[in-house]
Amino acid sequence: MYLTREEEELLNKPGCDVCMKLLLSVGRVFDAKRMVKVHSVHISGISYQNIGEAGLEWIENLSKIVKFRISATVNPAGMDLRRWKEMNIDEEFYHKQLRILRALKKMGARLEMCCTPYYFNEVGYGDTLAWAESNAVVYANSILGARTNRESGITAIASAVTGLTPEYGMHLKENRVPDIRVKIDLSEGDAAIAGCEIGRLECNLPYIVSKKKLEESEMKAMGAAMAATGGKTMFHVENQTPEWNVYSKPEERVAIGREELREAREENFPTEVPDIVAIGCPHASSMEILKIAEFARYKFVIPVWVFTCRRNLTNSTVKLAVEKIEKAGGKVFCDTCMVVSPATERFSKVMVDSGKALTYLPKLRGVKAFFGSLKECMEVATGRLVI
């Protein structure tokens, strides 16, 4: 793999050497020819619940010897930093999580603790990124036309330290060519479940032809779901996403119709009353919070937890919406989410409107997950839809 003199020098700097060697090994595995400079980094896997003692030690040790060279944001942690007691997080977990965050901050990370960095990072078409959060990776590649592989927390940190990433995978034009045409016909609230179905297709990169124009929130939900069920890192939507017309169209075709989606929704709809309704995977945007607040004119009879980025709460309209949700009996938590926090484990049945949470909650938190559209989730939560 070709390295410039400046890049070679990084191999001799304490701390940088480990990161550079790591990126070189990844590059060699994927046959990268060179390193490329990255515009921004997003680090996932920072919840103490996920990385435990070994991860905490690794980050703390690294923070004693290196600083990040470029802008790096971080994913949700294991708790709301201000309301962790309300989440039933124990003191020991709280302190361990704080140590991880302090170490990341010491290296130069921006502690956004949010999984939608595409809403607040300046990302341009064609920008090279090293992002590690599957929903953000799909969003950046597909909707913004930026270029990033699905990094791990460790390779993202290595990129923040060196400012580099090996050039392979989604950084190369030839790997952004769609290989299957997927015709979809969505009804309201179908996007996440459609994403789950598309993720399961045996293909690398779907070219989606939608009967109706997809909203941004639908593409966000769909991308997060297909990354969870099938590890997809990008999709094109005809006439909508920035690279839809750049590559040749795939020969292979498949259709996912209304009937199929209805069946998939029915299969995942609650068969028992959920203990909690959890919304905000990926983190709810300001617009999504306003939408949730519309349902809060009734009292919640089942607890509702909403997860979002703390920076959203600085907006006065969003603040009012949050007050409304909390007045109805819900809780709006920041810095964390239902999947990476151990708090979810005290429930046994969770209803979500997210294909990603539906996929990961049983595996990572050991809880039963049910799916409904946002409207259905809220109707169940307010007791207007009885299971």
Under the rule (CB under 6 A), what is the footprint of ligand F3S? 75-76, 115, 135, 224, 281-283, 307, 337, 339-340, 356-357, 360
Q: Which is nearer to ligand F3S, 284 or 293 (CB)?
A: 284
Smallest separation (angstroms) from ligand F3S to the CB of 359 = 9
**Residue type for 254, please?**
V
Instruction: Specify which residues 40 forms β-bridges with.
Output: 129
Of 178, 185, 191, the C-alpha closest to 259 is: 185
The angle that helices 153-162 and 16-29 make with each other, rounded to 10 degrees, is: 120
Instruction: Give least dist CB 223 to ligand F3S, A.
Output: 10
- The gap from C-alpha 253 to its chain's centroid, in whole angstroms, comes to 28
Residue among 39 and 283 whose Cβ is closer to ligand F3S: 283
**214 or 357, CB closer to ligand F3S?**
357
Q: What is the SS3 assignment for 140-176?
A: HHHCCCCECCCCCHHHHHHHHHHCEEECCHHHCHHHH
Q: What is the DSSP letter of 125?
A: T
Which strands form 236-237's sheet, in the order they lie side by side? 236-237, 206-210, 180-184, 253-256
Minimal distance, residue 325 CB to ligand F3S, in Å: 17
Which residue, 110 or 283, has its beta carbon nearer to ligand F3S?
A: 283
Going by C-alpha positions, the residue among 64, 72, 49, 57 that lies closest to residue 136 is 72
Q: Of the two residues 7 and 151, which places its CB atom closer to ligand F3S in the complex? A: 151
Whole-angstrom distance, CA of residue 210 vs CA of residue 256: 10
- Rank residues 194 and 337 by Cβ distance to ligand F3S and give the closer one: 337
Q: Return the number of the residue (201 or 284) whose C-beta is nearest ligand F3S.
A: 284
Q: How far is the CB of 246 from ligand F3S (least distance, A)?
A: 27
Amino acid letter, 114: C
Residues 6+ apart with CB under 8 A from 300: 277, 328, 329, 330, 381, 382
